[in-house]
Chain A
Amino acid sequence: MTAGPNKEDWVWVSNPDHYLCRQVGDTSFVYNRLSGTTHIFNLVSKAMLDYLSAGPKSLRTIVTEFHMFLEVPAEECPRGVARRLFDELDDIGLVQRVGP
């Protein structure tokens, strides 16, 4: 569930200035500078954060192309999984809408 309404052409980005990340084994600790909360990310969640930090993308692009960022076939990272990962970042305030 997203923190608010969402449309497929809305463009989102994650700002690396808004968080700190430290890797411990396969786990990443992410400190959200805006909320002051600490989160634990697995490799895939961290990949989504990196993907969104690389530049603005529409929600449509995020759910259809995230698997390419992971370098896996689309069936190994279905749209629903990508959407859920995005929603989780949205819920904790690590993505922001930048358009349209």
Chain B
Amino acid sequence: MTVVIMKDLPEASVFNALSEKRLALKLGPFATRLNIGDELTQRFILDMYQEAQVEIGNELLCDFSMTVRPPNLYRRFFRKQIVPDPGFNFPAVPLPSALSPLALEMGLNLNVALQCFRFAIFHAGVVAKGSEALIISAKSGGGKSTLTAALMEDGFRLLSDEFAILDIQDATLKAYPRPVSLKNQAIDVVKAFAGSENVSATFTDTPKGNIAYRRIRASDVAAAGQPASASIILFPEFVEGAAPQITQIDLADAAMQLIASSPNYQVIGEPAFTALMVMLDGVQAFEIKYGNTEDSLEIVHDLLHREPS
């Protein structure tokens, strides 16, 4: 079976393949075999990943496997719950079955964070214009995903909302353009500029409040094979009503923050260090503070047109 775009396949064929572990999702440098029997998650995949490349069959050798399943037989039928099963033992807290798409997304993050060793992984969003990439690193709630989604509407292509994937051979950043995860107030903000039709239904009462996802775009998927080089590292902080503020920070501090966010830097060791040092060459790092999305975009424009200091 050849690789096709998911939306070109009949719905029933996608559902069957997902249930029978015959669907491989090919996105950026990774192929993931999905095993999803839950209808809510199947519909989520069909919608949010409609532009993704998939292969149906068992021939493709995949990097990861991802199953969403009940934690035990009892929870299949009574007070239904699900857990992500990324193919190794991980103590995930079971979620109500109404939140099963979250388990899928969490599991796909676990795959990359804990099973990938050919790239150095850093917890950050990455967008690019041409081959020039912007790394957006923030603590939870810092506005990383909102800024990433806003920049997508501003002419940037999405490499990833969750991971900076650094190729340890050539120090470029790889794209893995999955749906952008939006939390709480960010959902309405992103709906306003990206269009409600591009955002999933909102999952309420999750451990992180309300969560929705911004659908992946055909253009990002098509460009996923093009690597990008880091030019700016941003540490954004959204503070309600704050005046825009830019502070250039020491590259050493930025690097150490990236290293601290990496799940596999210590495991890869020297090649990750060497690639990170090459990546940092010519890069500038900034902490930015802003009170609304318009200000954050203006700050990014300003930084992109600023002469390197």
Tell me the bound Cα distance from A40 to B252 in angstroms: 7
* A33→B270 contact, CB < 8 A: yes
Q: How many residues of B contact A (CB 8 A)?
A: 14
Chain A 21-39: CB-based contact to B (< 8 A → 1; otherwise 0): 0101101010101001110
* A29→B250 contact, CB < 8 A: no
Tell me the bound Cα distance from A24 to B282 in angstroms: 10
Does B72 interact with chain A (Cβ within 8 Å)? no
- From B251, B270, B274, A25 is in contact (CB under 8 Å) with B251
- From A20, A24, A27, B270 is in contact (CB under 8 Å) with A20
Tell me the bound Cα distance from A29 to B280 in angstroms: 11
* B273→A27 contact, CB < 8 A: no
* B266→A27 contact, CB < 8 A: no
Q: Binding site of A, secondary structure by majority: helix, strand, loop or mixed? A: strand
* B252→A31 contact, CB < 8 A: no
How many residue pairs link A and B with beta carbons under 8 A? The number is: 37
Residues on B with C-beta less than 8 A from A33 are 269-270
Q: Binding site of B, secondary structure by majority: helix, strand, loop or mixed? A: helix
Does B259 interact with chain A (Cβ within 8 Å)? yes
Tell me the bound Cα distance from A57 to B161 in angstroms: 51
Residues on A with C-beta less than 8 A from B250 are 25, 27
Given A20-B273, A24-B251, A27-B251, A40 and B256 touching (CB < 8 A)? yes
* A31→B273 contact, CB < 8 A: yes
Instruction: List A1-28 residues whose CB lies under 8 Å from chain B.
Output: 20, 22, 24-25, 27
Tell me the bound Cα distance from A37 to B260 in angstroms: 11
Residues on B with C-beta less than 8 A from A25 are 250-252
* A38→B273 contact, CB < 8 A: yes
Q: List 3 tightest A-B contacts by C-beta distance, closest first.
A: A27-B252, A31-B273, A22-B277
Residues on B lying within 8 angstroms of A by beta carbon are 250-252, 255-256, 259, 265-266, 269-270, 273-274, 277, 280
Known: A29-B252, A31-B270. 15 other contacts (CB 8 A): A20-B273, A22-B273, A24-B251, A24-B255, A25-B250, A25-B251, A27-B251, A27-B252, A31-B274, A36-B269, A38-B255, A38-B256, A38-B265, A40-B252, A40-B256
